[in-house]
Structure 1
């Protein structure tokens, strides 16, 4: 048996309670199997957390005013690899370009371009 602390709602279905009484911080005694299941669920929830940096996309670029973003995607991919070539692998200032092309380009394209770069047959300059 172990103790688990968390928020527990005491309101019954359909029963209205004041907002300040709806949840209470409570300690509940549970068996080890239930405690492990709760910890696993909390770990899954922590992995699902999305930060603001994760949902940013490329800013508006006057070079690509139309809704078709294919050229924008390709240009950002090239800019990322150009930045890495000039500043070195893993340069922090290049990560914005990586975020841009990853948000614009389909993952299949990125995988194919990375394979082509590895094989030395990529058509781009970098």
Structure 2
């Protein structure tokens, strides 16, 4: 499973269409993906799993969020 995720990360071009956010403005999609990334990372760390599985959420998060937002949220 981890190998499949690693190949997806290497060939990652842009984020997928999320039916929860059907409009062109994807700004609201930023926060849920940011939370999903950190939730996945914390869960995998607690279970002793491979954290690289969460990297996909990080790529999607970075494609929607501005750097200033992410750095402000990380500081909190």
Question: Which runs of 5 or more residues in structure 2 are unaligned?
Answer: 1-8
Question: Which runs of 5 or more residues in structure 1 are unaligned?
Answer: 1-51, 117-126
Partner of 1:115: 75
- 1:106 paired with 2:63, answer no
Structure whose CA Rg is larger: 1
Please point out which of 92, 96, 112 is paired with 2:52: 92
Structure number with higher strand proportion: 1
Structure 1 residues 33-55: Cα deviation after superposition (integer angstroms, max 9, x where no partner)? xxxxxxxxxxxxxxxxxxx9376
Alignment of 1:54-93 (within 5 A): 56-88=13-45, 91-93=51-53
Structure number with higher helix proportion: 2
Q: Which has the higher contact order (CA 8 A, sep 6+)?
A: 2
Matched residue SS, 1:93: helix
Distance 1:54 1:77 in 2: 21
Distance 1:57 1:103 in 2: 7
Structure 1 segments (4+ residues) deviating >4 Å: none
Structure 2 length as normaliser, TM-score?
A: 0.75
